[in-house]
Amino acid sequence: MREGTIIGAIILAIGLVMAGIAVAVVGALLQTADGSTELRLERAEEETSRLRSQIDSLRSELRDAQADLKRLAEEVALGASTRPLLQGTGELSVTAPAPDLEVDEEQTPTEAMTEIMSLARARFNKGISQPRNRIMLEVLGTPRSTKTVNCSGVTQPRLKSLLETRQVGPIRVTMLKPALESLGRIVAKLKESEPEIHDALGTAGALCARLIRGSSSSWSNHSWGTAIDLKLQGRLDGFGDGGTQFGLLLLAELFNEEGWFWGATYNREDSMHFEVGVETLRKWQAEGKL
């Protein structure tokens, strides 16, 4: 039986039980002429209690069915977003072209790279905590002596000494040294597993000391050189639209493996944004890298 049919049947059952309660009460009130009103009302109350118990049970079944329906919807969305296979993950499946269709082997992967897919948030950032300002300030200190809403340079001496500019695969970025080392491993894995995405990789910015847009006190994680925004084929992923470019889904797997937090799971989805997670920062701190 389909999920929608089950939910409809449960709702209908709740309605019938409510009708039964009404009939029981009205019947008791109408039969007062024989002098047994109290007895009949007592029986009506017992029947009402039994019927209410049935309603509670049916409502519980309805909640369970709705939860199952939501889970199935997420699985369907995930299934729609799984085309090429990222080697080694076992998460994504390959959809083979029909034998009677001609496939342009050069063009198809390029187009699929920036195709917008539904995002199954629960698959990502498992065991990785988002680095809030309190943690960043505790670990790395204030990035600048003065606050600004515009992209500016770092003025804190210790933090400046930890920054470096490097060519990492096809992109050149300035970031925290251990973040660059981690990014280098990610890009190397990407080149091996998805060379076309590697070659199409670009950046929309890394180090940028400024406040979060709309805030008068909270710093962007770009301010410490621990975050990077990425684009594919020169295209930025749409902000807050709930979807993400297919190539970024594959990249997110690699970033998560290195302990980076993906911005796609923010309240307002930001799929191009990747930042070093709290656990990784603490690890670097314990190793004396910060």
What pLDDT, in 10s, does the model give residues 156-185? 999 999 999 999 999 999 999 999 999 999
3-state secondary structure of 91: coil
pLDDT for 107 equals: 39
Domain assignments of the chain as residue spans, ordered by start: 3-80, 109-286
Which CATH number applies to 109-286?
Answer: 3.30.1380.10
Q: Give the range among 32-41, 50-59, 211-220 with minimum mean pLDDT.
A: 32-41
pLDDT for 97 equals: 35
Verdict on whether the full-model pTM lies above 0.85: no
* 30 token code pair: 């109408």
What pLDDT, in 10s, does the model give residues 210-267? 999 889 999 999 999 999 999 999 998 888 777 889 899 999 999 999 999 999 998 8
pLDDT for 121 equals: 76
Residues 113-127 have a mean pLDDT of 80
DSSP 37-76: HHHHHHHHHHHHHHHHHHHHHHHHHHHHHHHHHHHHHHHH
Note whether 243 and 119 are within 8 A (CB).
yes
